[in-house]
Amino acid sequence: MGKTVLVTGAGSGFGKGVALGLARCGHKVIAGAHIWPQVTELRNVADLEGVQLTVIKLDVLDEIDRQRAFQYEIDVLFNNAGLMEAGPVAEIPIARVRRVFETNVFAALEVAQGFATQMIRRGSGKIIWTSSVAGLVKVPWVGAYAASKHAVEALCASMREELKPYGVQVATVNPGAYQTGFNDTGMESMDQWWEDGRQAMRPRTRRPLNNQHDPQEMIDAMIEVIAADSHRYRTVKPESAAEMVRREQTDEWDVIV
């Protein structure tokens, strides 16, 4: 049976692919896009494909946008909107760290709380957070983003147990490196403030982001988790990343500093 799903961050990347994919499968989708040009573009894509898609402006940091979204009664929230800022933890501007947390943690939590309330009252529903492999391991030079996703992991794990008695499911999806453009722009963001010679750390060496995977694998996994009535709490893709996470989490116990 089709579900009613609200997708945040649907204007690009995984969110866009999941929103369109769910609509193709016959689910009722409310696709929240960050800015108005993304709203228009996504509506045009849906029209060209001939799929039914309700597209709204949803900047998760905007209280008016959030309250507008809370008017929808949904079965599943795909809490997907996110932001990456790169830079070493010792020198990344604190304003950039706050920006990451405001989007990935606080705004995401406000969206989850708003829909959790209706789900608790109804006695059913599901909230799926886009976390990251970075939320499970260390990621040098992307520590602010990784820290925000570690926070997401903690919130989700607690929310899972707290909402279980009310018939509300909570789960995470944890992408590794996929070629959506998110990782590339996240790393490039550091160029806005890093100046060789001004920072105490040695000059930055730009490294190409190789070995990024086809995002369709992750999109398909996300759609499967959203549509399924029962599934694993955590979905990590690709499998090579899942193996790396298990190995690194074990190795961390024996690190000597």
pLDDT value of position 208: 77
Architecture of domain 4-254: 3-Layer(aba) Sandwich (3.40)
Domain parsing of the chain, residue ranges: 4-254
Strand partners, 213: 178
Does residue 207 register a pLDDT over 80?
no
Q: Is 145 a catalytic site residue?
A: yes
pTM attached to this predicted model: 0.96
- Interstrand relation of 28-33 and 168-175 (parallel, antiparallel or unpaired): unpaired
210: pLDDT confidence band, cut at 50, 70 and 90?
confident
pLDDT class for 173, splitting at 50, 70, 90?
very high
Of 145, 166, 178, 233, which residue is the catalytic one? Answer: 145
Q: Of the given ranges (67-81, 116-130, 156-170, 200-214), which has the lowest mean pLDDT?
A: 200-214
